[in-house]
Amino acid sequence: MQTFTFQTDVSEDDKGKKIRMIFSGYLTLQNASQIRTTLEEQNRDFENVELWAKDVSGIDVSFLQILESYRQTHSVEGKKVKILMDLPYDLKTLLANAGIVYPVK
């Protein structure tokens, strides 16, 4: 089974507590349940959340839907959620051709 990795980076400044959640590897339907569970397990005491996909081997719409759902849910709670994608050229092109545009770091 092709897997994904997850790591966090927590910090605090004058704007409040911030967490960066970094997803790498295969961000696809086969891992969607684990990815969703990973996001749900994170502490909700952060004012600023950054969801970052980097070193991606594969990505599909299930991962993008999970990120967007997370963003919408937490934005309603007044949290700032930022989504960043650091993707290889072929995956950037695929998403752009599908009309899906996220900031690329």
**Model pTM?**
0.84
What Å distances lie between residue 89 and 77, 85, 93, 98, CA to CA? 34, 11, 6, 14
**Which pLDDT band, with edges at 50, 70 and 90, does 91 fall under?**
confident
> Domains in the chain, ordered, with CATH?
4-97 (3.30.750.24)
Spatial neighbors of 7 by CB under 8 A, at least 6 apart, are 21, 22
> Model confidence over 34-45: pLDDT tens digits?
999 988 888 677
Helix, coil or strand: residue 42: coil
Do 17 and 48 meet the contact criterion of CB atoms below 8 Å apart? yes
